[in-house]
Structure 1
């Protein structure tokens, strides 16, 4: 199995070969497992807080619960993105920009393994969104 350091040293012609795909698949599965465990822990925390709360703690409990639910929602969305990335690994499209078909790049994928756009495509999209929101 490749290390991150070895991955970064590989020549461009190795981009998204079987070894690199296996590296990213393992990385994504590890992240997914951590998120699933975090979601389970959040559920347990919410249930424990409910039972232990008294009347004075209700307001702070509700705020904590709201924050935990927001985190849970965000983690759930990330799990969906990870599942989509795993599907792209299986269908051979992982690592390539959805808009241009160009390589996303190993460095970007190490930072955001669920990325579907190259940096350039992402910047173009953000510029368009900004132009429309500015009005």
Structure 2
């Protein structure tokens, strides 16, 4: 018939040939395979790469404010702006000691509030669902207090380091930890680079 002679003859059945044409990918198979492999392996490889250090910006206008202010009056920006030659001088030590003492006070207040909450919630609740919710809230609060208890120990150790004049220097390299990192984590005992090396080692070897 004319309709059959007009269409080109498929090699092994017209239906199979047309289906293969419809399902051909828009990119070559080798390219698609390479893209899939790269997207699959990207997450684990990036997980082991430590983040780049964040540069601390200093305001030159605040560089000498520390000379006319007490440690309690200094702001974070003024401490960051202090000259590198003044790193961990007496005023900086006093500034971070006040921060650690304030952090310790907040943790102790939270611990006292948790004790009061547990005492107030000792009433037996008849509804099992409500009782389960209260128990879950208690468990969450106790886990938070446990983390703060460990942090409290680090705070006390950091205060002792300040009193001994060792605060602000890396335990591994002896290099300055940096004002910016100490403002973000006053209990830090490692520089950012040393901390990243330790975390990378733990991810790779599980130490």
Pick the TM interval, shorter chain: over 0.9
Aligned to 1:101: 174
- Which of 74, 96, 113 matches 2:147? 74
2:105 is aligned with 1:33: yes
How far apart, in 2, do the equivalents of 1:103 and 1:55 lie? 58
Structure 1 unaligned blocks of 5 or more: none
Aligned to 2:120: 48
How far apart, in 2, do the equivalents of 1:61 and 1:5 lie? 43
Normalising by structure 1, we get a TM-score of 0.94
- Which of 115, 118, 124 matches 2:197? 124
SS at match of 1:84: helix
- Taking only aligned residues, the RMSD between alpha carbons, in angstroms, comes to 1.0
SS at match of 1:99: coil
The structure where helix makes up a greater share of residues is: 1
Which deviates more from structure 2 when the two are superposed, residues 100-109 or residues 59-68? 59-68
- Which of 143, 148, 161 matches 1:88? 161
Tell me the CA shift for residue 39 of structure 1: 0.7
Tell me the CA shift for residue 55 of structure 1: 2.2
SS at match of 1:102: coil
Aligned to 1:64: 137
Between the two proteins, the alignment pairs up a number of residues equal to: 132
- Bigger relative contact order, structure 1 or 2 (CA pairs below 8 A, ≥6 apart): 1
Deviating 4+ runs (over 2 angstroms) = none
SS at match of 2:171: coil
Tell me the CA shift for residue 9 of structure 1: 0.8
Normalising by structure 2, we get a TM-score of 0.62
Tell me the CA shift for residue 60 of structure 1: 1.4
Q: Which of these two proteins has the greater Rg computed from alpha carbons?
A: 2
